Structure 1
Amino acid sequence: MKRTLVVGDIHGGYRALLQILERANVTTEDTLIFLGDYMDGWSESPEVLDFLIQLNQTHTCIFIKGNHDELVIDWLEERFENINESMWFKHGGKATVEAYANIDKVKKKEHIAFLKELKNYYLDSENRLFIHAGFTNLHGVEYEYFPKLFYWDRTLWEMALAMDETLGKEDLLYPNRLKIYTEIYIGHTPTTRIGQTVPVNKACIWNVDTGAAFKGPLTILDINTKEYWQSDVLPSLYPNETGRN
């Protein structure tokens, strides 16, 4: 049976990525939608990109851009000043810098090309939106004035968390942003911030970032059945590392 599977933030956790694809029994019949943040945190960001580039040759894949992916492009293209003092370096970038120490220029160019092809968002035929972080325009992503919000915004998720759950879409107080799409799938803000290590559904939003950058697992979710599979928690897969902690 063909499935559409959405993958949360990987953050250099190559071993976790292999685990979830195996545990979900992913085949070439499945469509895979990756929500971004492939880089930064654990030590295998280059391996993650190599694997995804190859996976794209054999599977139907959609790759969304995350904020860390954009930051890595800036670093690979040498647009950073005082790297060691940057917020990026302190929040996962250090592991990426170290991981690329022995990567040659040809491979780096291949990775830059992949990262530059990432989508800001994906909207499917059933009006389901897949985006790394969120958007602010009340008419939807096509009208967003500030595209960087697609991979930096947290207000969409914070709004959903703060909502009165008894509100229906017909209520005047129901947020307009949540009326536009059938479902919205996001990463960016780990569910571990609210004490969860599983995907969390609020209103029409499904947050699939289950904290793989920190102490949580990586998650892959079937968007039709809502069944999900998870890796081991990342610190157990990288016992000598700290991730983004």
Structure 2
Amino acid sequence: MKKKAVILLNLGGPDSLAAVRPFLYNLFSDREIIRLGPSFMQKPLAFLISTIRTPKTRKAYSLIGGRSPILQITRMQAEKLHRALEPHGEFKVYVGMKYWHPFIKDAIREAIEDGAEMIIGLSLYPQYSKATTGSTKRDFDYEIAKHRIPVVRFIKSWYNHPLYIQAMKELILEKIRGLDTKDFHLLFSAHSLPVSFIKEGDPYEKEIHGTVEAIVNALKDSIQEIPVYSISYQSRTGPVKWLGPSTDEEIIR
């Protein structure tokens, strides 16, 4: 039976306070996320920005245990996915991060060392953007090209997958149980993206709206009246124009 590897691909996060600055440097060095002037200035400016932002960012991480929980959460997802795939063949599930350990190249190398004959890359970003899945796929393809893997697959978007929509629906229903839909506003908050990316054809905003539309339609089967809802965007950085409205502004409104 062919050995198959599934690699869960995620952002990554610092696993200690000491890792905050190098993590930020890796993040801001990626021109697919944010373009810091001409390309030759990207890494010097990334070094400067990461150095400036490190004290504030370390303080924030110290409030949640001194590290990002993303690796622990992704490993839990990997374990559960492995158990779900066991009846369907010889699968192993790995974790590969974009900006901190374990890196994508580490996951691919481990899968190959374990004898994988098929590698499936699964982006954990439901909506596609070149800043997230696109950049991740670039690294994935680069590392895969170094090896002879008979079969390679990549799942780049699942913003309207029925099981994803069902999961979001269940989370919402759990939180609003016992409430009158007239008494609250349902706010969908997504990570923002520079408007220039959308103008260049990035499908991210369209897929965000597609996800929200699918969730709202799914809710109609369970509640009599859909609450007032809206979409906002969070985590802007830098002087460029970003998708809006911002989550802070929408909450105040």
Q: Comparing both chains, which one has the higher relative contact order based on Cα–Cα distances under 8 Å and sequence gaps of 6 or more?
A: 1
TM exceeding 0.5: no
TM-score by length of 1: 0.30
Q: Which has the higher helix share?
A: 2
TM-score by length of 2: 0.29
Bigger radius of gyration among the two:
2
